[in-house]
Amino acid sequence: MKTFFDGIFVSQKSLEEAGIKYPIKLEYYKTLEEENVEKNFGIEIVKTEYIEGSTKVEAKEVKNITGDEKKENEILNLLIKNEVTPIGVEDVLEDLLIQEQYIEKQKCKI
Which strands sit side by side in the sheet containing 54-66, from one edge to the other?
2-9, 24-35, 38-51, 54-66
What are the start-end ranges of the H helices in the chain? Answer: 12-18, 69-81, 89-109
Q: What pLDDT, in 10s, does the model give residues 51-108?
A: 988 999 999 999 989 889 999 999 999 999 999 999 999 999 998 888 776 666 666 6
Does the reported pTM lie above 0.95? no
Calculate the CA 1 to chain-centre distance: 16
Q: What pLDDT, in 10s, does the model give residues 1-46?
A: 999 999 999 999 999 999 999 999 999 999 999 887 789 999 999 9
Domain ranges of the chain: 2-109
